[in-house]
Structure 1
Amino acid sequence: MSFESLNFHPNLLNALVELGYSSPTDVQKQAIPLALKGEDVMAGAQTGTGKTAAFSLPLLQRLLTLPAQSEQSAESSTDSKASGHPIRALILTPTRELAQQVFDSMSAYAKHTDLKVAVAYGGTSMNVQVKAINAGADILVATPGRLLDHVFNRSVSLTEVETFVLDEADRMLDMGFIVDIQRIMERMPDERQTLFFSATFSKQVKKLAFDILTEPKMVEVTPANTAAETVEQMVYPVDKHRKAELLAYLIGSRNWQQVLVFTKTKQGSDKLAKDLGLDGIKAVSINGDKSQGARQRALDEFKSGKVRVLVATDVAARGLDIEQLGYVVNFDMPYKAEDYVHRIGRTGRAGMTGHAITLMSLDEEWALKAIEELLDTRIPQQWLEGYEPDPTLIETQSVHRGAAAEKRRAKAKSRIHQNRGKHVRRR
């Protein structure tokens, strides 16, 4: 199959030639024909396999060849000033970085067409976004919270949306997003095309998706919830308090030049970046507490090689597209096993070889077990000389936790006896 055989508009084909796209990837081969027919699609494929083009190209093709809806439904009809600029296609992403990445890709694909693309996410000026939308945007790429800001301010109308895309749909349908998603869907026409794309789909997400999609066609290029074969995985057991020391040793002794490191918390990402700096390793951090400008500067410095290490929370697990990124490090185990797939999917992209390293303290073994069950494979482990974990530490921690629990129970019993005594005296 070639892109020409898909009968794309000549202007789209010209853009693909300029971008160096020679032939469709597996997910594109399966998803694009279905999307071109107007089917609802639920597609799962590993990161770095071309999912963005798989939904962007058929979306653009349909907008170029199908007439726009000329009238809104009677129930939602209002004057243009009140309802805002009508959008023909909406793409939702969970993070600012992914929204920007999808916007950049979509703009490149639509370069030779009259279709206009706008992007809206938090941390940047609403007025600038409104100006871009009112300039005639046909396609809007947005994060849920900022989109609702525009909807409530009546700068955007969703009553003419013809295609609705959820990118990284599993995260978008997490409980933290579902209320916003429902509010957004209530403002769109019932008759629309809906596309779900992600690297992982839990059973809960699949159930919810089938409630939203209309007779969806399933596309699974690889088995669900799998890591790319191009990523070499390794786990290094180490005591929690020595993780930063081991990470600095690995980066320095093995001459790793571009390393993306994931931590659980915002504070942890800032602290680790500072600790690495004290070891002479240039590092920056990005997390939800930082402004969008600061996050973009950190990402630019990392991509350009000005800094060696980028420390991030899971806010960056979706949407970072760094060419030839060689190393991803799980400094902390992720809360959800599915997030491991997305984290390590930042490396080994487009057929390149990548390395995923996990630093595991003994009290995180449960998280490794969950990941291995999800992937249905054993991840190799290696104890590095000089950094072997001390088994007595976890035993000591367990003893302390048990003693603390017993102490709490003793205090509770004491309070009960005291209260009983008070009741007796009152009688």
Structure 2
Amino acid sequence: MQQSFLDFGLKPAVQCGLLRCSFFIPSGIQAKALPFIIKEENIILQDHSGSGKTTLLAIAVNHVVNPAENCLQAVLLSPTKELAQQTAVLIERIGSKYVCLRCSVCHGAVQVKGAAHVWSGTPGKILQQFSNTGTMSANTVRLLVIDEIDEMLSAGLEKQVSRICRIMPETCQVVVVSATASMSGMESLHDFLRRDMHFITTGSTEAYWHAGIQHYRVEVPEEKWKLSAVFDIFSRYLVRSQCIIFTNESKKADWLEKKISLRGFEVQGIHGGKPQDKRVAAIDKFRSGTTNVLVATDVASRGLDIPGVVLVINFDVPLKPSIYVHRVGRCGRFGRRGIGITIITKENKLQLQQIEQFLKIRIRSLPAELVEKNPL
């Protein structure tokens, strides 16, 4: 018999919040992890993109927080501002009405005003916030969440995360999350967490995504033909759903956004060089469906959870297999169908082969007949 969120012993207020958000049936990783979270166990979660890990974290925070206590009780670390913002939105979506918690996003030079129950931010900004308020404010923290730990380590944030772990009280529960790596093999992780951790996965640690995502490539003679390939995909797919196009460079993202806009498409662009308010506004327009095309660098490849995204186009071949996982993982969320298309020149063939070998997938040429049979 299939379980519902009502079967795990979550606090009644959290259950009401989930029902209000139309969350009824847990995903595989949610069902396996919730009993450990409720028992306040320290856990490491690994599952593919789109499996519901961010929602699980939001549920965990709402279950742990006691709104009657006017103090900091949970801290969430994310590798990007966008993921920190999105996680905070989901936490409040579940908990604002019934749990009545307050979640603050730590970003820029802004200091959190008033007593928030939850801080969500990047490691550097969380450390800055503790510097502003004093590390004594960490004494009441019951839950520390480290999201996308593989990205944290590859981005050189290990020392910052380690400092935050040392600030936390020994009684603090720790939840660590990854989509692309087997945490059991990261010996250094146990060193700075200073805790015994349970490793939880839904199956093979090589299951980077579900079977509903298809992987294709489009070969062009030269770099200058990539834009034509994008419009060819658009014309044949007739993009009625939402599409994200990834590039490796901010300047190229701006150029591509302008070219797509000139063709009459509703498009938004985000990259690290844009002010935070413009990045947030762009994602809000895309999330609401006001625009159906988002051009982005990898600031959007982590944690962006928009159910309407069916198509991801890699305008540039990702620099690492893990980046490919997170880009293509923006489509086909929570078991839905999705398609990832990578545009390559002859110079990129070896890169793509390396991605195929590492991820144990085959990225086939995009057949015209498939496009005609399966318009988006």
TM over 0.5: same fold? yes
Identical-pair percentage:
31
Question: Does the CA-based 8 Å contact 2:72-2:141 persist in structure 1?
Answer: yes
- Aligned CA distance change for structure 1 residues 118 and 372 (closer, same or farther; 3 Å): same
After superposition, the C-alpha distances for 1:256-305 in whole angstroms (9 at most, x for unaligned) are 14220000011111111122233343433100111111112222333344
Residue number among 146, 158, 181 corresponding to 1:166 in the alignment: 146
CA distance in 2, matches of 1:109, 1:278: 39
Q: For structure 2, list consecutive stretches of 5 or more residues without a partner in the other structure.
A: 369-376
Query: Structure 2 matches for 1:405-420, cutoff 5 A?
Result: none
Q: For structure 1, list consecutive stretches of 5 or more residues without a partner in the other structure.
A: 69-84, 385-427
Question: Does the CA-based 8 Å contact 1:237-1:382 persist in structure 2?
Answer: no
Question: Does the CA-based 8 Å contact 1:269-1:313 persist in structure 2?
Answer: yes
Residue number among 115, 118, 125 corresponding to 1:139 in the alignment: 118
Structure 1 position 283 matched with structure 2 position 267: yes
Q: CA deviation at 1:202?
A: 5.6
Question: Does the CA-based 8 Å contact 2:150-2:178 persist in structure 1?
Answer: yes
Q: CA deviation at 1:102?
A: 0.9
Q: CA deviation at 1:341?
A: 0.9
The residue identity in structure 2 corresponding to 1:19 is C
Query: Structure 2 matches for 1:11-90, cutoff 5 A?
Result: 11-64=13-66, 87-90=72-75
Question: Does the CA-based 8 Å contact 1:333-1:358 persist in structure 2?
Answer: yes
Question: Does the CA-based 8 Å contact 1:96-1:143 persist in structure 2?
Answer: yes
CA distance in 1, matches of 2:101, 2:281: 29
Structure 1 position 272 matched with structure 2 position 252: no
The residue identity in structure 2 corresponding to 1:187 is I
Question: Does the CA-based 8 Å contact 1:95-1:143 persist in structure 2?
Answer: yes
Question: Does the CA-based 8 Å contact 1:86-1:158 persist in structure 2?
Answer: no
After superposition, the C-alpha distances for 1:188-218 in whole angstroms (9 at most, x for unaligned) are 2244211111211167973332323422111
Partner of 2:165: 185
CA distance in 2, matches of 1:175, 1:285: 23
CA distance in 1, matches of 2:247, 2:268: 13
Partner of 2:198: 217
The residue identity in structure 2 corresponding to 1:139 is V
The residue identity in structure 1 corresponding to 2:215 is Q
- Aligned CA distance change for structure 1 residues 3 and 349 (closer, same or farther; 3 Å): same
- Aligned CA distance change for structure 1 residues 105 and 264 (closer, same or farther; 3 Å): same
Q: CA deviation at 1:383?
A: 7.9
The residue identity in structure 2 corresponding to 1:28 is Q
Q: CA deviation at 1:345?
A: 0.9
Q: TM-score, normalised on structure 2?
A: 0.88
Partner of 1:102: 87
User: Over alpha carbons, which structure has the higher Rg?
Assistant: 1
More moved, 187-196 vs 342-351: 187-196
Query: Structure 2 matches for 1:378-389, cutoff 5 A?
Result: 378-382=362-366
CA distance in 1, matches of 2:184, 2:44: 14
Partner of 2:225: 242
Residue number among 313, 322, 333 corresponding to 1:349 in the alignment: 333
CA distance in 1, matches of 2:64, 2:287: 34
CA distance in 1, matches of 2:269, 2:313: 14
Q: CA deviation at 1:42?
A: 0.7
The residue identity in structure 2 corresponding to 1:227 is W
